[in-house]
Structure 1
Amino acid sequence: MLPELLAAAAATAAAGCVYLAAAARVVKQYERGVVFRLGRLAGGVREPGFTLVVPFADRLHKVNMQIVTLPVPAQEGITRDNVTVRVDAVVYFRVVDAASALVKVEDYKFAVSQMAQTSLRSIIGKSELDDLLSNREKLNEGLELMIDSPAVGWGVQVDRVEIKDVSLPDTMKRSMARQAEADRERRARIINADAELQASKKLAEAAKEMSEQPAALQLRLLQTVVAVAAEKNSTLVLPFPVELLRFLERAQEHPTGQ
């Protein structure tokens, strides 16, 4: 009798080990488990750790809950101001409801990718070129709302959408470069003209002051001579004497015939 009991206990233990091995599952920390029993959703979502399923009847599907970085292929379109551009983007999303992500959509990653491409083309058609180049934050928010609205029903939440690059035709790049160059040249001319205006006003004031003090003109001439001699480091020969300047000054103060 005892050998038969031992044999039965050993068989039961072996059967229990086989059952445990077939039923044991491990869900990782960044995953959630969804059990389908005979094709139907059974119970709630399995949390991370050790869990058991019914062998041959249950199927455990693990869903990754980490943030997924999904690149959106470059989409070509025509902006509202009739410019052909190619725009690519990147979508950051994560699964918030593992059961809905498996039941309500066949492939949630593919669905989000197609929705992102469609929304990106729609954004291109509704925007102008200047918005795509300089106002991307507003476009990112609008693109995020367009993708997130249907994704909520799939158990997916879109965290962020970023427009990465805007490619322009070569002809448009050359036109924008010429426009920027012309604008810089216009500003340079305005600055030079303003400088000339300010300089002329100062020169007029200086001439007025020198006209009141004739000796200032001679001092200014001597300063100019010193500056030129220091810069060129050479001998400077005046074509007329300083006394001639004094004579001209006296002649200007006492015109002939008065």
Structure 2
Amino acid sequence: MTEELILDLISANLLYILGAILLVIIVVKGIRIVPQSEKHVVERFGRLHSVLSPGINFIVPLLDVVAHQISILERQLPTASQDAITRDNVLVQVDSSVFYRIIEPEKTVYRIRDVDAAISTTVAGIVRAEIGKMDLDDVQANRAQLIDTIKSSVEDAVDNWGIEVTRAEILDVNLDQATRDAMLQQLNAERARRAQVTEAEGRKRAVELAADGELYAAEQTAKARRIQADAEAYATGVVAQAIKDNGLEAAQYQVALKQVEALNALGAGEGKQTVILPANALEAFGDAFRMLKGGRG
């Protein structure tokens, strides 16, 4: 009896232990800790049941299964190159890249098999379509606008996949060699044209400056003559006023002054000079000297 009792106690304790172990396992399996950078998709009997957000979550063991662990970090697609033809029939090779992240993993895992390949194909088609609407010069000059258009179009296309497109980039736009050579010739021709225009403008400016200089000199000459004429007119007015006020004496005084100035000019000549004057001239000069002397006195 004692041995049977011991065996019964051991069996009962073993069952309790096994039950406790099973309970611990169930509790452990029912608790799911999801990292901050992930979301977990839970299936029950093969169908979508719930999506576990970052943090502590609880599921029903043996019924619920974490079927997919999806990273919600931003991803970058490998750089892709695709050929496109612009509206003015120029073949270009466009290098593009797209950044995205999964925000609704339940859509991503059940609606698309290969996310990266699907997005790459979508981007290639959109890039070709958008570049086909633009001329080559517009592609080069409006790259930012082109990027915004591509990003918006990709967002609309992948909306049903639970994906958010965070950024799209056009890394490079390459041309074939024939187009490059043609553009180089056009650039050289444009540079030559600008050089000719600059040279012509320089010559034109030089002529304008020379004309301005001549006009300024003429204006200054005319101004000087006008001043001289004004001075002579003023002097004549003074003489006329003096004659008017003093009568004949003032006129004789001016004549005598001019005679003396003329005689001084003759005497100031170079070398020895002999001046022969008639007798009445000597008398006139004598009268002039007397008048000057009298006028000064």
The TM-score bracket by the shorter chain reads 0.7 to 0.9
1:131-186 CA distance string (max 9 Å, x none): 22111122122212221112111111222222111010112112212212221221
**Counterpart Cα distance in 2 of 1:209 and 1:105:** 84
State the one-letter code of the partner of 2:102. V
**Counterpart Cα distance in 2 of 1:36 and 1:97:** 15
Q: Does 1:185 align with 2:192?
A: yes
TM-score by length of 1: 0.73
User: Which stretch shifts more, 23-32 or 166-175?
Assistant: 23-32
Q: Does 1:73 align with 2:80?
A: yes
Q: Does 1:176 align with 2:189?
A: no
On the 8 A contact 1:31/1:48 being kept in 2, the answer is yes
**Counterpart Cα distance in 1 of 2:21 and 2:180:** 75
User: Which stretch shifts more, 204-213 or 2-11?
Assistant: 204-213
Deviation, 1:210, is: 6.1
Deviation, 1:54, is: 4.0
Structure 2 SS opposite 1:88: strand
1:145 to 152, 175, 188: 152
2:51 to 29, 45, 48: 45
**Counterpart Cα distance in 1 of 2:93 and 2:211:** 58
1:110 to 110, 117, 123: 117
TM-score by length of 2: 0.64
State the one-letter code of the partner of 1:48. P
Task: Give the fraction of aligned pairs with identical amino acids, expressed as a percent.
Answer: 31
Question: What CA RMSD, in Å, does the superposition of the two structures yield over aligned residues?
Answer: 2.3
User: Which residue of 2 is the match for residue 25 of structure 1?
Assistant: 32
Q: Does 1:89 align with 2:86?
A: no
**Counterpart Cα distance in 2 of 1:34 and 1:119:** 31
On the 8 A contact 1:72/1:117 being kept in 2, the answer is no
**Counterpart Cα distance in 1 of 2:65 and 2:116:** 21
Deviation, 1:49, is: 2.1
1:181-238 CA distance string (max 9 Å, x none): 221221122122112111122223435666877xxxxxxxxxxxxxxxxxxxxxxxxx
- Matched residues, number: 212
State the one-letter code of the partner of 1:47. S
Structure 2 SS opposite 1:45: strand
Distance 1:39 1:199, change over 3 A: same
- Of structures 1 and 2, the one with the larger relative CO (CA 8 A, separation 6+) is 1
Structure 2 SS opposite 1:82: coil
* Unaligned ranges ≥5, structure 1: 214-258
User: Which residue of 2 is the match for residue 204 of structure 1?
Assistant: 211
**Counterpart Cα distance in 1 of 2:180 and 2:143:** 19
User: Which stretch shifts more, 126-135 or 19-28?
Assistant: 19-28
Deviation, 1:86, is: 0.5
State the one-letter code of the partner of 1:35. V
Structure 2 SS opposite 1:92: strand
On the 8 A contact 1:72/1:116 being kept in 2, the answer is no
Deviation, 1:129, is: 0.9
Matching of residues 210-249 of structure 1 within 5 Å: none
1:6-53 CA distance string (max 9 Å, x none): 3222212222333345444331101111101111111x3211123344
Matching of residues 100-139 of structure 1 within 5 Å: 100-139=107-146
* Unaligned ranges ≥5, structure 2: 1-7, 222-297
